[in-house]
Chain A
Amino acid sequence: MAPDSGSPDHADRSQWMRTLALADPDWLENRWATLPDRPDFVHVRAPETGLVMVRGRMSGTGDPFNLGEMTMTRCSVRLRGGAVGHGYVRGRSQRHAELAAVFDALMQDPARRDGVAAAVIGPARRRHEQRQRAIAEAAAATRVEFFTLPREHA
């Protein structure tokens, strides 16, 4: 497939695709079910599950090495008379990848973008931020101050 061109700013699209990938699949399904005017779509690429080789960096900041693989599912859809959307999600949920692709396609439609952003992307991002905050708070509660004791001279 040729790279999509002329679509919204890459940074914006990258952000909402991230939000969709990090969202809970059941929650996304619920958003889809309550979405007004659900569009028809066809698969450009049917949902497919495979592996991504996850890489790390030597000593955290050096050259890359292969750490191990992770399951990933991808899917591409075309809305009727509309844009192509892609979904790439961790794990094996084909429905998650499909919904991510459909919402990605909807976000590229200027007529639908604000509605989908308000109903799906915004709330999904806030849910993710809330989870991150909970992790940070739990960690902060275990922050410790160590005191070194002076050595006793016998």
Chain B
Amino acid sequence: MYVAVKGGEAAIDAAHAALTKKRRGDPAVPDLSLEQIDQQLALAVDRVMLEGSVYDRELAALAVKQARGDLLEAIFLLRAYRTTLPRLAASLPLETGRMAVARRISATFKDLPGGQVLGATFDYTHRLLDFALAAAAPPAGDDGGGDAPAPAAAPDTAAAPPVSPPRVSDLVGRDGLIEPAQPSDPEPAPADLTRQPLRFPAGRDLRLQALARGDEGFLVSLAYSSQRGHGTIHPFAGEIRQGEVAVEIVPEELGFPVTIGTVAVTECEMFGQFTGSQGEPPRFTRGYGLTFGESERKAMAMAIVDRALRSAELGGSTGAPAQDVEFVLPHSDTVEASGFLQHLKLPHYVDFQSELEGLRRMHAGLAAAPPAAADKSDAPDDGTLP
């Protein structure tokens, strides 16, 4: 337990002044603009929007700047800011089937309607440091070269893919080889973590909300643990797509849906281990990942963990960390995790002093006792002395 302390105002002010100075760095180096962070550190902005759970590129860029590039701190800043804003509406569910697709791949079909569209990806780069980027900025229009070769003759743009290709899961679903994903009638209002505390059992709606804002590192490790055998789901990346989707609300004074803007999202459908039961033929099961921005690794991890957390309801095994909802959800939030970790920096003087005192008394007791008595003193270490 920590205790309240007083004093130190002058030192704290000086520490904050030092932080401001350190954030700015060498004044001879130009100051970073929010536009530069938004445009050139776009994936940092994406992560902060996603885990900070507020889609606003400018706010997220500001948080990255203020946090000196510490993304977890930036996420904390954005979460804190969101509490100052009123909730004006909830959107209609995004129709990701109508996404304006900038990237779309499937690891399950080589040839699929709409084709494989790589988009802007780190895949197939050689991961060699590109010193051309370290040189002075290339002239506008030059992409800096790097190990991404300029596309050879643009492959048959005449046969450009439709903007919103059909879902891969629909292709599999046509033959009834994957579990259906239909909305209920009527559609239930989804649970909201930001309004009610997390309770168990947690429905899939609550789990997906928690995973979407959950820490990427934690989810990637959990997904990896599942892949390595701790509650495996035998996943296939059925489809990954990135692009922009319209956000629609139904304002109460209008009574019909209006588009208020678009969001960039990444969606991942994992096809998992098939199950069957008496009366039901075996078929693939689904894990789902949906994220703000270009957050492919996170969306993939989310889809695997979503499927792993469904194991019990699908009649699969339980007991692995990735399958344990009461382990995964309370430990997935970066703000909570880092807050509880960092609270250890607060004054714990009284607790520590009492433990120190106990240790001293034990040592004093041991020194005073005859050696034979010390040998058989295997009593429980409860801090008391004979």
Set of chain B residues within 8 Å of A65, measured between Cβ atoms = 190, 204-206, 208-209
Set of chain B residues within 8 Å of A57, measured between Cβ atoms = 93-96, 181, 183
A133 and chain B: residue at smallest CB distance? B163
**Is B110 an interface residue, CB under 8 A from the partner?**
yes
**Is B115 an interface residue, CB under 8 A from the partner?**
yes
**Is B18 an interface residue, CB under 8 A from the partner?**
no
A59 and B269 contacting across the interface, CB-CB below 8 Å: yes
How many residues in A have their beta carbons less than 8 Å from beta carbons of B? 59
- If A61-B182, A132-B163, A139-B161 touch, does A18 touch B258 (CB 8 Å cutoff)? yes
B251 and A58 contacting across the interface, CB-CB below 8 Å: no
Query: In whole angstroms, what is the CA distance A59 to B173 when docked?
Result: 12
**Is B151 an interface residue, CB under 8 A from the partner?**
yes
B96 and A142 contacting across the interface, CB-CB below 8 Å: no
**Is A3 an interface residue, CB under 8 A from the partner?**
yes
B94 and A55 contacting across the interface, CB-CB below 8 Å: yes
**Is B313 an interface residue, CB under 8 A from the partner?**
no
B118 and A51 contacting across the interface, CB-CB below 8 Å: no
**Chain B, interface SS category:** mixed
**Is A29 an interface residue, CB under 8 A from the partner?**
no
Query: In whole angstroms, what is the CA distance A13 to B59 when docked?
Result: 31
**Is A63 an interface residue, CB under 8 A from the partner?**
yes
**Chain A, interface SS category:** mixed
Q: What 1/0 mask marks residues of chain B from 85 to 102 whose CB sits below 8 Å from any chain A CB?
A: 111111111111100111
**Is A124 an interface residue, CB under 8 A from the partner?**
no
**Is A79 an interface residue, CB under 8 A from the partner?**
no
**Is B286 an interface residue, CB under 8 A from the partner?**
yes
Set of chain B residues within 8 Å of A135, measured between Cβ atoms = 100, 102, 243-244
Q: What 1/0 mask marks residues of chain A from 24 to 61 whose CB sits below 8 Å from any chain B CB?
A: 00000000000000000000000011111111111111
A139 → B minimal CB distance (Å) = 5
Q: What 1/0 mask marks residues of chain A from 55 to 79 whose CB sits below 8 Å from any chain B CB?
A: 1111111111111111110101000
B157 and A141 contacting across the interface, CB-CB below 8 Å: yes
Set of chain B residues within 8 Å of A127, measured between Cβ atoms = none
**Is B198 an interface residue, CB under 8 A from the partner?**
no
- If A61-B181, A65-B209, A72-B260 touch, does A48 touch B117 (CB 8 Å cutoff)? no
A68 and B88 contacting across the interface, CB-CB below 8 Å: no
A146 and B110 contacting across the interface, CB-CB below 8 Å: yes
**Is A140 an interface residue, CB under 8 A from the partner?**
yes
**Is B130 an interface residue, CB under 8 A from the partner?**
no
B100 and A90 contacting across the interface, CB-CB below 8 Å: no
B181 and A62 contacting across the interface, CB-CB below 8 Å: yes
- If A69-B53, A144-B117 touch, does A3 touch B260 (CB 8 Å cutoff)? no
- If A54-B247, A63-B183 touch, does A142 touch B119 (CB 8 Å cutoff)? yes
B265 → A minimal CB distance (Å) = 8
How many residues in B have their beta carbons less than 8 Å from beta carbons of A? 88
Query: In whole angstroms, what is the CA distance A68 to B90 when docked?
Result: 10
B118 and A53 contacting across the interface, CB-CB below 8 Å: no
Which of A2, A22, A71 meets B56, CB within 8 Å?
A71
A60 → B minimal CB distance (Å) = 5
Q: What 1/0 mask marks residues of chain B from 130 to 173 whose CB sits below 8 Å from any chain A CB?
A: 00000000000000000000010011110011010001010000
- If A58-B205, A58-B208, A69-B53 touch, does A146 touch B116 (CB 8 Å cutoff)? yes
Set of chain A residues within 8 Å of B292, measured between Cβ atoms = 67-68
- If A4-B253, A59-B181, A142-B118 touch, does A53 touch B56 (CB 8 Å cutoff)? no
Q: Which residues of B contact A (CB under 8 A)?
A: 49-50, 53-56, 58-59, 82, 85-97, 100-104, 110, 115-120, 151, 154-157, 160-161, 163, 167, 169, 181-184, 187-194, 204-206, 208-209, 212-213, 243-244, 246-247, 249, 251-263, 265, 267, 269, 286, 288, 290, 292
Some 17 contacts from A to B, beta carbons below 8 A apart, are: A22-B259, A51-B85, A53-B192, A55-B94, A66-B194, A67-B290, A67-B292, A68-B49, A68-B292, A70-B56, A72-B89, A90-B260, A92-B56, A139-B161, A140-B160, A142-B119, A146-B116
Further 13 A-B residue pairs, CB within 8 A, beyond A50-B86, A63-B190 = A4-B253, A52-B87, A54-B263, A61-B183, A65-B206, A67-B292, A68-B53, A69-B87, A70-B54, A74-B251, A142-B119, A144-B118, A148-B110
* A-B residue pairs, 9 tightest by C-beta: A90-B261, A59-B181, A70-B55, A18-B259, A50-B88, A1-B253, A140-B160, A65-B205, A142-B118
